[in-house]
Homo-oligomer: A and B are copies of this chain.
Amino acid sequence: MKKLINDPADVVAESLQGIAAAHPELRVDHTNKIVYRADAPVQNKVALISGGGSGHEPLHGGFVGPGMLDAACAGEVFTSPTPDQMLAATQGVDGGLGVLHIVKNYTGDVMNFEMAAELAAAETGVEVVSVVTDDDVAVQDSLYTAGRRGVGVTVLVEKIAGAAADAGRDLAAVADVARKVNAQGRSMGMALTSCTVPAAGRPTFDLPDDEIEIGIGIHGEPGRRRVQAMPARDVARELVEPILADHDFTGSGGVLAFVNGMGGTPLLEQYLMYNEVAKLLDAAGVRVVRSLVGPYITSLEMAGCSVTLLAMDDELLQLWDAPVRTPGMRWGV
């Protein structure tokens, strides 16, 4: 394992020190590993927090700022943060109108955020509503499983719900739009290579030089299927078809098409993939009204990509286009 780190145990703490040093517009609580916007708590605005294991950067710390998150809790690499962190963040961002917890659907994240919400209810007066993202069509959904993973749509939920909060909506309404984005969004990912968790010291899985994993998540977990390497146009089909089979995206509002790099794939290839995805959507009668291409929710240095589609309407378009000012996503300000 070769990485730009010192001791594997210090990776998250030292990276947060770098964020603090590079971003005067953010404030970092190093004890609790929380990235706040510097002016938190913002009064009279619903506050949004998220958090999860580290290694997905810019998600979530890079999405803290006006128009998006008020704070993000950083766990160890690929390990959900703890309830203490989430509780501290909840108290630190509440501006009187309550706090939305944006939780990716992983057992650990869900349980830790649940405990944080219980503690918030028991120990503070802060109103908390949680929204769980579960957009990964690679995973079979059933009452008897852990359900689908939260992946790419989380980025879109954070942006759009952040805009709704900025627009003055109340906590229930902000949660509603977050749930709507999750309900109308679907994702599917693939990997060319594994990533290496610093503390583990070697790749999570071994992938021969002529094979790829289809249906991966964002934690270096193996995918649903291992198949022969294939051209980008076939990879695009492997990702887009299950998404289109799972949800109708031909509505008149069109879609936001999001091609996400997993961390180790060059932007050159991400745009090439976007080209393939756009062609498939066109052929399927899906109209693209907004697009996003880049490494927004990553899995350390994993090579690969994911595709997320979100069915849009006027409300979502307006919230998507609203100003946002974070290290990882910025426009309009």
**Which residues does A use to contact B, with CB under 8 Å?**
1-7, 11-12, 14-19, 21-23, 54-55, 57-58, 62, 77, 192-193, 209-210, 212, 229, 231-233, 235, 263-276, 278, 288, 291-293, 295, 298, 300-301, 303-305, 325, 330-333
**Min C-beta distance of A124 to chain B, whole Å:** 31
Q: In the assembly, what is the distance between CA of A54 and CA of B267, in Å? A: 10
**Min C-beta distance of A30 to chain B, whole Å:** 11
Can you list 24 A-B pairs with a CB-CB distance of less than 8 A? A1-B209, A2-B192, A2-B209, A3-B269, A4-B192, A4-B270, A6-B231, A6-B272, A7-B231, A11-B268, A14-B272, A15-B268, A15-B272, A15-B275, A18-B276, A18-B293, A22-B271, A22-B278, A22-B291, A22-B293, A54-B268, A55-B266, A57-B271, A62-B267
Contact assessment for A272 and B11 in the assembled complex, using a CB-CB cutoff below 8 Å: yes
Contacts of A6 in B (CB 8 A): 231-233, 272
**Min C-beta distance of A168 to chain B, whole Å:** 24
Residue of B at shortest CB range from A22?
B291
Q: In the assembly, what is the distance between CA of A70 and CA of B198, in Å? A: 42
Contact assessment for A2 and B193 in the assembled complex, using a CB-CB cutoff below 8 Å: yes
Contact assessment for A57 and B301 in the assembled complex, using a CB-CB cutoff below 8 Å: no
In the A-B complex, list the 8 residue pairs whose CB atoms are closest, starting with the nearest.
A18-B271, A18-B275, A57-B267, A18-B274, A4-B269, A21-B278, A17-B275, A2-B192
Name the residue in A2, A57, A62, A304 with the highest tally of chain B Cβ atoms < 10 Å from its Cβ: A2
Q: In the assembly, what is the distance between CA of A21 and CA of B276, in Å? A: 10
Contact A57/B2 with A14-B272, A271-B15, A271-B22 known, Cβ cut-off 8 Å: no
Name the residue in A58, A265, A269, A298 with the highest tally of chain B Cβ atoms < 10 Å from its Cβ: A269
Name the residue in A14, A271, A288 with the highest tally of chain B Cβ atoms < 10 Å from its Cβ: A271
Contact assessment for B275 and A14 in the assembled complex, using a CB-CB cutoff below 8 Å: yes
**Min C-beta distance of A269 to chain B, whole Å:** 4
Contacts of A288 in B (CB 8 A): 21
